[in-house]
Every structure is written in C-alpha cells, then in structure tokens.
Amino acid sequence: RLPSLPASAGKQHWGNLPGAALSLAVAEAASSAKRFTLLLTADSQNAERLEQELRFFAPDLPVLHFPDWETLPYDVFSPHQDIISQRIAALYQLPQLKHGVLVVPISTALHRLAPTR
C-alpha cells in the first residue's frame, strides 16, 4: 500500500523505504496528485539518483532537478557549465508546470535566488 499526497499543500516525511521503493512511492503519489510536488533530498547524490529513478518509474511525469552549485563560496573557479545550464533550464520550466516533481538537495534549497521581477 503506497502513501498518497494530501489534497492541500503540506509537508510529509517518508522513510524506511529500501532501495528504489522511495522513488516508486513518490512516482505513484506524484502521478496521481493534481499539483506540483517539491522533493527535498539529503544530498546531491540522492537527488540525482531519485531524479533518474522517478524518470524510470513515471516516464510521463515531468521531473525537474535543481542541482547544487558544487563549489564553495571561497573557490576561485565557477561551477561547471552543465550545472549552470541545468539550473537555468529548471528555473525556466518551473512557472509553466502545474503537475510534476522538482528534486532539490536541501543544501541547495537554503540558498537564495534572485526574484523574478
């Protein structure tokens, strides 16, 4: 029996799901939900893994990944161009989507973004 997402906005914590069971549960719940879902992960590796597994379990579900910069504030080099492109693409697609999943590492969600206007 898979958990379901509530009809109204709210947060839930799902744990103790081994292997890809978490991705399967999120894919089933987000596919049946009538709204957009934010999925916060512990780190970047889990975010990438969950994104790939969600795309496998629910190929019709829009899945966006907002990656971490993977640089430190005092680093003298810029983030990789692929990371910058993926972040811009996710921010561009986000306002148009009414249904889907955005996968974000918790450390990335704590960073501020510039306002849209």
Tell me which of 64 and 70 has the higher pLDDT. Answer: 64
- Give the model confidence (pLDDT) of 28-41 as tens digits: 888 888 888 899 99
Beta strands in 42-99 (DSSP E): 63-65
Under DSSP, the state recorded for 116 is -
Q: Which of 103, 39, 21, 35 is nearest to 68 (CA)?
A: 103
For the chain, list the domains and their CATH numbers: 21-110 (3.40.50.300)
Burial class of residue 49 (count of CB atoms within 10 Å of its CB; 0-12, 13-18, 19+) = middle
Q: How far apart are CA 82 and CA 78, in angstroms?
A: 11
- Residue 38 is which amino acid? L
Check residues 41 and 11 and name the one with the higher pLDDT.
Answer: 41
Residue entry with tokens 């597994």: 53
pTM of the model: 0.83
